[in-house]
């Protein structure tokens, strides 16, 4: 039989076989439709499931003393007790009696507290590193800024430290089966999956108030914001994709500011803060928010979360008694006024040694040392910014990688 004969040949089909075939085809079609629909529902449910939030394997933080976890303490001088005593029961390198906000962020993801990059003793960078140092500014610390008492480790240097940290981490991973990089450094792929956090800018305003007129400070803000933007773009080119950026707090409410620049009645707001300084802080924040919006349209693969920490802190100060805090414009540790004693330090005043001691109940205070916040205040602020109510877009920290449960 040739090929054409084979193709022309058809076996006879009985009515029963034909009906059975139709039934099987129909059932198969129905099963396929149900399976595909169920599969789509499962995918949609997974995308809306708030029980599967973002998981960041590491956090890399850049900032000043508001998020410093030991950088300045390691580089220059160890912060003495009572700093750290409330939570750590010893000095921890933090300008607080306990944890700072970045600690609460790390805890939210089940990660250990970030080790300071500059700290060489007892540190582990498996889940990230903290490049923040007390006194740091966004703008490069020239002789004038450094001479005014601010840190030489400005944001541009923190970025260089990160680049070196990443390059050396990758080198060690590629050298062979050494135990150290596996247990003490981020995995190579973690750099692209990490959360990159910023809490910096307050010292740029502090420096401006010390060195310039208020008008000049306002005029300097766009340039400072551009420098922060360049740092973000530099990190993006290095593989960073998830950014969590704090604005700056109500600098005019810091006890330090009120003591050394007491406002005239016309420049005092209803909470007793310096209105002009807070207005400049809000101008800074407005420009920062605008810049982040521009970055969203430029860096399309990145996810940006802008955090209004100003509102959280001002709410706490203006309604302190409602939240269990007393004397919102006072401070707990050290002494200002007729003489100055830094928290945990000693000075000789009129032949008598004076120690910068802590108050008896730090948990009732907002300001720890006149500039920084207590453990209790930091915990309260963290609770307000992590739930998404003060974020733009309005997402929780668990959605900062771009997953959204509001589809």
Residues with a catalytic annotation lie at 65, 369, 372
Contact 79, 94 (CB under 8 A): yes
**CA 396 to CA 54: how far, in whole Å?**
10
Contacts of 289 (CB under 8 A, 6+ apart): 247, 306, 392
Return the biggest CA–CA distance within the chain: 122
> Which of left, alpha, beta for 16 (phi over 0: left; psi -120 to 50: alpha)?
alpha
Neighbours of 260 (CB within 10 A): 14
**CA 128 to CA 106: how far, in whole Å?**
10
Neighbours of 319 (CB within 10 A): 12
Neighbours of 63 (CB within 10 A): 29
The phi, psi pair for 395, rounded to 5°, reads -135, 155
Contact 302, 359 (CB under 8 A): no
Contacts of 329 (CB under 8 A, 6+ apart): 253, 255, 258, 271, 272, 273, 317, 367
Contacts of 299 (CB under 8 A, 6+ apart): 232, 233, 236
**CA 43 to CA 41: how far, in whole Å?**
5
């Amino acid at each position: 039989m040739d090929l054409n004969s084979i193709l022309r040949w058809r076996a006879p089909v009985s009515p029963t076989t034909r009906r059975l075939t139709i039934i099987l085809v129909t059932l198969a079609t129905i099963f396929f439709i149900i399976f595909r629909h169920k599969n789509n529902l499962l995918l949609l449910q997974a995308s809306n499931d708030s029980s599967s939030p973002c998981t960041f394997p590491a956090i890399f933080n850049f900032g000043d003393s508001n998020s410093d976890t030991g950088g300045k303490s390691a580089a220059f001088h160890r912060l003495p007790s009572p700093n750290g005593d409330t939570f750590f029961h010893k000095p921890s390198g933090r300008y607080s009696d306990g944890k700072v906000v970045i600690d609460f962020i790390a805890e939210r993801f089940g990660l250990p507290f970030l080790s300071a990059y500059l700290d060489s003793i007892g540190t582990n960078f498996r889940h990230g590193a903290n490049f923040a140092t007390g006194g740091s500014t966004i703008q490069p610390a020239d002789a004038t800024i450094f001479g005014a008492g601010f840190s030489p480790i400005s944001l541009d240097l923190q970025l260089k430290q990160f680049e070196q940290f990443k390059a050396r981490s990758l080198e060690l991973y590629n050298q062979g089966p050494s135990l150290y990089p596996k247990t003490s450094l981020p995995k190579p792929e973690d750099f692209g999956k990490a959360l990159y956090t910023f809490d910096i800018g307050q010292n740029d305003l502090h420096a401006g108030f010390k060195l310039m007129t208020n008008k000049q400070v306002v005029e300097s803000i766009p340039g400072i914001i551009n420098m922060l933007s360049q740092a973000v773009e530099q990190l993006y080119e290095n593989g960073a994709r998830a950014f969590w950026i704090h604005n700056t707090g109500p600098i005019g409410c810091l006890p330090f500011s009120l003591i050394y620049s007491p406002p005239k009645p016309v420049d005092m707001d209803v909470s007793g803060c310096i209105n002009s300084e807070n207005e400049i802080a809000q101008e800074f924040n407005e420009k920062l928010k605008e810049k982040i919006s521009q970055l969203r349209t430029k860096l399309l693969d990145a996810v940006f979360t802008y955090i209004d920490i100003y509102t959280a802190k001002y709410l706490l100060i203006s309604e302190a008694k409602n939240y269990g805090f007393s004397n919102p414009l006072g401070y707990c540790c050290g002494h200002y006024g007729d003489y100055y004693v830094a928290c945990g330090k000693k000075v000789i005043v009129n032949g008598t040694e004076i120690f910068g001691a802590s108050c008896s109940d730090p948990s009732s205070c907002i300001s720890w040392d006149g500039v920084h916040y207590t453990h209790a205040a930091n915990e309260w602020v963290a609770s307000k910014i992590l739930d998404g109510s003060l974020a733009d877009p309005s997402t929780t920290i668990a959605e900062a990688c771009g997953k959204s449960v509001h589809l």
